[in-house]
Structure 1
Amino acid sequence: MSDSSQDPIRELWNTRYRDACPDAQLAGNETVLSLLAHRSIRSYLAEEVPENVLAAALAAAQSASTSSNLQMWSVIAIADPARKARLAALSGGQKHIEQAPLFLAWVLDQSRLRRLGEAQGKPTEGLDYLETFVVGAVDTTLAAQNAAVAFESFGLGIVYIGGMRNHPEQVAAELALPPGSMVLFGMCVGYPDQAHLTGIKPRLPLAAVLHRERYDSGKEAGLIADYDRRVADYLRERGANGDHWSATVVDRVGGPQSLGGRDRLREALAERAFKLR
């Protein structure tokens, strides 16, 4: 790679990790540039997402890996303001769902395979097992991330909405989902409002997540202590409290009360005809 293409890669690396790039020969290309520049967007312009861009992003989604070619996902594109407002309320009042010109509901969809089995007079009991649910969740997530990368390559921004799992039954009713399907998460899509653009949130250092040959937690404490300081600095720069990441995430998994209503997800899945044997 030429020197002219090294600087943006190194700059984005330094921003993402808030640390100097360790390798003078860091590999990079336009795809890596786009990925390192990712940030969650929660403020959007009113401009609509072009249909040809939506089609391209969903073709990218369908190009993602899928276990055994089962393709256990669907997506619902939502632009109706009233429906977006209802979904925003169900997700805990996330106003960016209403503001985004396009909201995508990513559906873990076993119902299509169930209908195919019924049409062919064949059993589909394999859908009742936790393994198959996990496969569907992985497939849906891989597809959505491909779409996210595609959207960002066209200058759009996205933010994932896990709040779709706060009230899965009500979301399913709003979107007329058949049994054996659920909205795994949502995705706001639109052109970012540059006046409200946030910074790039730092991630754990690479050394904290990359292990060689065997898992090694011995190096973890010092790396996370350094990361806590970097996250605190980032938050203070945004005018927020400089809380430590490690304390925040432990609180986030402290108990059922910290899950925002999602502690009853197994019950909701049973209601949606997922057996999870």
Structure 2
Amino acid sequence: MNPAIETILNHRSVRNFKNDPIPESNINEIIRAAQSASTSSFLQAYSIIGITSQKKKDRLAALAGGQTYVSENGYFFVFCADLSRHLTAASVHEQDISASVESTEGFMVAVIDAALAAQNAAIAAESMGLGICYIGGLRNNLEAVSSLLQTPDNVLPLFGMAVGWPDSYQEQKPRLPQTVIFHENEYNEIKHAQLRAYDQTIFNYYRSRSNTKKEITWTSQVSSALAKSKRLYLNKFVPQKGFMK
């Protein structure tokens, strides 16, 4: 197995970091790796905000739901959908691109570009021996996050990424079987039996985990998580930031 694939397959979220700083050269390489990701039509419709202020980390941790690893890490990134610079670029040529910027397609392009860049950054960091954890909790209150980071219209924070030298590792969670995720030529309906088999795998994983043991299955976990709609304020806030109008 080549080292790149080995790094990818060894991924797990890390939530406990040492206090050791990350050299600036490593941070720069992580950002370069992020920028090397594929991008739709070469738009590069994202921005990355690096958080070095401990005060801002602490505030982001509170906004994300009190997640301590948002404030206690080697470095914290925030990935944003960004079509602001494209409006500036179009103004150079006196062109109106507002319809594209405000479209669902424009929003999707920016979100996908940001996600691709983030995953490149994650793999780069893990290849250096660092650990990472994606932080979707920033979307609990994007109005406050946007204010804190001073993101203008057409720049929307999407998620964070805590990076640092791991202080401990959690067991790797077993992913869904490939037969459930991968479809050849056409979509194949998933059967209850396939999910029940995976439920048993996840039940055994949580029951045997060295810390935070619990008895839960995957179907019960996702059913509970999705039973109540979350962050519905985004339906109004996203258009207020200039997207999906």
- Taking structure 2 as the reference length, the TM-score comes to 0.95
Instruction: Supply the AA of the counterpart residue of 1:106.
Output: F
Question: Is this contact kept in 2: 1:76–1:106, CA < 8 A?
Answer: yes
Q: Give the gaps of 5 or more residues in structure 1.
A: 1-27
Question: Bigger CA drift: 44-53 or 116-125?
Answer: 116-125
Instruction: Supply the AA of the counterpart residue of 2:47.
Output: S
Instruction: Supply the AA of the counterpart residue of 2:67.
Output: Q
The reply to whether residue 81 of structure 1 matches residue 54 of structure 2 is yes
2:199 and 2:170 mapped to 1: Cα distance?
19
For each residue in 1:21-77, what CA deviation from the matched residue of structure 2 results, as whole angstroms up to 9, or x when unmatched?
A: xxxxxxx31111111110000000011111111111111111111000000101011
**Matched positions, count:** 242
For each residue in 1:244-275, what CA deviation from the matched residue of structure 2 results, as whole angstroms up to 9, or x when unmatched?
A: 1111101211132xx2xx1211211122222x
1:47 and 1:106 mapped to 2: Cα distance?
23
Q: Which has the higher contact order (CA 8 A, sep 6+)?
A: 2
Candidates 189, 213, 223, aligned match of 1:250: 223
- For 1:241, the equivalent position in structure 2 comes to 214
Candidates 14, 17, 26, aligned match of 1:41: 14
Instruction: Supply the AA of the counterpart residue of 1:179.
Output: D
Candidates 144, 158, 173, aligned match of 2:132: 158
The reply to whether residue 216 of structure 1 matches residue 201 of structure 2 is no
1:188 and 1:245 mapped to 2: Cα distance?
25
- For 2:175, the equivalent position in structure 1 comes to 203
- Taking structure 1 as the reference length, the TM-score comes to 0.85
- The two structures, once aligned, show a CA RMSD in angstroms of 1.2
- For 1:23, the equivalent position in structure 2 comes to none
Q: CA deviation at 1:156?
A: 0.2
1:233 and 1:171 mapped to 2: Cα distance?
38
2:116 and 2:95 mapped to 1: Cα distance?
29
- For 1:189, the equivalent position in structure 2 comes to 163
2:199 and 2:44 mapped to 1: Cα distance?
39
- For 2:79, the equivalent position in structure 1 comes to 106
Q: CA deviation at 1:79?
A: 1.9
Q: CA deviation at 1:118?
A: 2.6
Question: Is this contact kept in 2: 1:79–1:101, CA < 8 A?
Answer: no
- For 1:14, the equivalent position in structure 2 comes to none
1:180 and 1:111 mapped to 2: Cα distance?
5
Question: Is this contact kept in 2: 1:163–1:185, CA < 8 A?
Answer: yes
Q: Give the gaps of 5 or more residues in structure 2.
A: none
- For 2:64, the equivalent position in structure 1 comes to 91
Q: Which has the larger radius of gyration?
A: 1
Instruction: Supply the AA of the counterpart residue of 2:178.
Output: L
For each residue in 1:199-251, what CA deviation from the matched residue of structure 2 results, as whole angstroms up to 9, or x when unmatched?
A: 00110011111112111115x32221111111111111224222011111012
Instruction: Supply the AA of the counterpart residue of 1:222.
Output: A
Structure 1 stretches of 4+ with a deviation exceeding 4 A read none
Question: Is this contact kept in 2: 1:88–1:95, CA < 8 A?
Answer: yes
Candidates 136, 145, 148, aligned match of 1:171: 145
